Structure formats: C-alpha cells, structure tokens
C-alpha cells in the first residue's frame, strides 16, 4: 500500500508541477497579450487623433517642399476641432481619386471669396467657397492639380494639418502658415 501511495504521490506532485508551469505559461501569455493590446491601443490613438509622419511628393508644392518628397508631421486635432485656417498646409484625400492623398495649402474656408490668378488656360476669376468646403491650391500654381481643376473640396476629405518638416534634415523646421505669391505671377 505504501508503495502505491508513494507512487501516486509522486505522480500527483509531478502533475501539480506541470500544472504550475502550464499555469505560469498561460498567465504570462495573458499578461503579454494585455500589454501588447494596450500598446497597440496607444499607438492607434496617437496615429488617429495625434501626430503621424506623411510624405509630400510632387511638384505642386514647390518651392515649399521638394519634388522628390519631404517627410512631414501631420496632426489631426486641428481638423477634428475645425481649427484649419487660411494658409495652413493640409493633407487631404484627393477628390479625384480617394485612394490618393494630396498635400495642398488652404486658400479659402466656407463662405470666403477666393480670387484665382490667371493661368495659361484661364483668365483670373473669383469663386465663393460653399459651406462645409475648403479651397486648396498648391504653392506651384503653374504645375498643380488642385481646386482650380476639381473645385472646392469637402471639409470631410481633410485628414490632417502639416506642421513640421522632418526630412531632409538640413531643411527640417516648422511649416509656415502663409499665402505664397503665385509662381510666375507676382502678387500686386
């Protein structure tokens, strides 16, 4: 009887040790899963409601940004809180292709009258920006597809406001809120 009892006790102790080890393993899995979910939630909140890097590529924002592409930081609260101002550089879904994003300067808000400079194809004209829309233009007025082509842009397409140039490092700095002179057409 004692041999059987000793054998059962040893088997029970081994099973108990396995249970403790397995229990520790699942406890660790739960702990690390919880930490990863929390980190993921913080990253999601920062990217969705805070700050995120983005690229601005193309000739439409010359000379403010390089044609090869600059890395900018964009922030979201200005858009959500409707604090976008004339002169801000914004990142927006393209009205022509919502899969693409564009980097343009705000030249008019709802109710503003925007005076559009003449181009090689069009005479100068004025347009009133409808409610819930903004007027976006590239700084390079001679080579930019913007509101002059697709009209006022719904405010809901704005993604964020660019506020800091990160790359290239030699040109890193705050992005000015200004209305530049149209390239090729001096401001009166």
pLDDT in tens, 4-39: 545 555 555 555 555 555 557 777 788 888 888 888
Question: What percentage of the chain has pLDDT greater than the value 90?
Answer: 5
Sign of the Cα pseudo-torsion (178, 182, 186, 188, in order): negative
pLDDT at 187: 45
Distance in angstroms (rounded) separating the CA atoms of residues 91 and 53:
11
Better-scored residue on pLDDT, 46 or 83: 83
pLDDT at 90: 93
Distance in angstroms (rounded) separating the CA atoms of residues 82 and 84:
6
Residues with active-site annotation: 60, 104
Note the pTM of the prediction, 2 decimals. Answer: 0.68
DSSP assignments along 81-135, one per residue? TT---TT-EEEEE-SS-TTSEEEEEEEE-TTPEEEEPP-SSS--EEEEPPTTEEE
Of 14-23, 110-119, 165-174, 177-186, least confident by mean pLDDT is 14-23
Grouping H, G, I as helix, E, B as strand and the rest as coil, residue 14 is helix
Better-scored residue on pLDDT, 103 or 124: 103
Q: Is residue 155 within 8 Å of 112, Cβ to Cβ?
A: no
Q: Is residue 108 within 8 Å of 96, Cβ to Cβ?
A: no
Q: Is the pLDDT of residue 166 over 60?
A: yes
pLDDT at 6: 52
């Amino acid at each position: 009887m004692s041999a059987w009892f000793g054998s059962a006790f040893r088997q029970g102790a081994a099973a108990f040790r396995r249970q403790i080890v397995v229990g520790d393993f699942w406890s660790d899995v739960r702990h690390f899963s919880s930490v990863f979910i929390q980190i993921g939630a913080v990253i999601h909140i920062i990217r969705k409601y805070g700050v995120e890097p983005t690229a601005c590529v193309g000739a439409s924002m010359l000379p403010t940004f390089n044609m090869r592409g600059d890395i900018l930081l964009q922030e979201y609260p200005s858009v959500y809180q409707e604090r976008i101002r004339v002169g801000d550089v914004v990142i927006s879904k393209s009205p022509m292709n919502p899969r693409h994003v564009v980097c343009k300067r705000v030249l008019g808000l709802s109710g503003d009258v925007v005076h559009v400079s003449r181009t090689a194809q069009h005479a100068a004209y004025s347009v009133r920006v409808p409610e819930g829309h903004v007027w976006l233009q590239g700084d390079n007025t001679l080579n930019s597809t913007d509101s002059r082509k697709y009209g006022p842009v719904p405010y809901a397409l704005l993604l964020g406001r660019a506020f800091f140039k990160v790359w290239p490092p030699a040109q890193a700095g705050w992005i000015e809120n200004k209305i530049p002179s149209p390239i090729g057409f001096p401001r009166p």
